[in-house]
Amino acid sequence: MRHRRIVLPIALAALFAAVGAAQAQPAEPASYSLDPTHTFVHWEVLHTGTSTIRGRFDRSSGSVQFDAGTQQLDVSIAIDSASVNSGVPLLDTLLRGESMLASTAHPQAFFTARSARFEGEIPREVRGEFTLRGVSQPLTLRALRWNCALNLLFRREVCGGDFEAQIDRSAFGITHSLPFVADRVRLLIQVEAIKQ
């Protein structure tokens, strides 16, 4: 009987220690897949100092890891460079060509981020790396808005928002039409991601 009395408290102590260790483990961030029908990268650039040329990339894919409680937001996006769409077919052909996006040699552009700045549970900046034409440069996306809500169509949580950034296209080897078409390109990214 004495042996059993000693074993029971030891067993309970071990159980409580195991439970405490399990509770101490940080929760894994939730995984989301980008909804390609609601995720687009728009761009705009000043033309001859008079008007702004605008367009977007029609196809993208990727994933998001998000946890508001631990302020974690990881992003991986692949953009189909040949899906560039300015609304002007002749310009789109030029944009896909070797002197611009070089879509044949570099069919995809990438943005990956493993760092974000939060205010409370809301991300305000996402810091990562943008790769275009095989050239990688640091890039920070500024969040204009971010929200998560239950989507009744998918019956799942959907998180999304609008982001903006700027790049100098010459940093990626795109110097065609400089200085008549500006070097600075503004990016506007709309993102919606479905919880998996």
Which residue in this structure is represented by tokens 């900046």? 125
The 8-class DSSP code of residue 187 comes to E
Strand, coil or helix: what is 73?
A: strand
Can you tell me whether residue 33 is helix, strand or coil?
strand
Q: Is the pLDDT of residue 6 over 60?
A: no
Domains of the chain plus CATH, in order, are 27-195 (2.40.128.110)
30-60 pLDDT, tens per residue?
Answer: 999 999 999 999 999 999 999 999 999 999 9
For 53, the 3-state DSSP assignment is: strand
pLDDT at 1: 53
The confidence score (pLDDT) of residue 190 equals 95
Report field, pTM of the whole predicted structure over 0.75: yes
> SS3 of 134, please?
coil
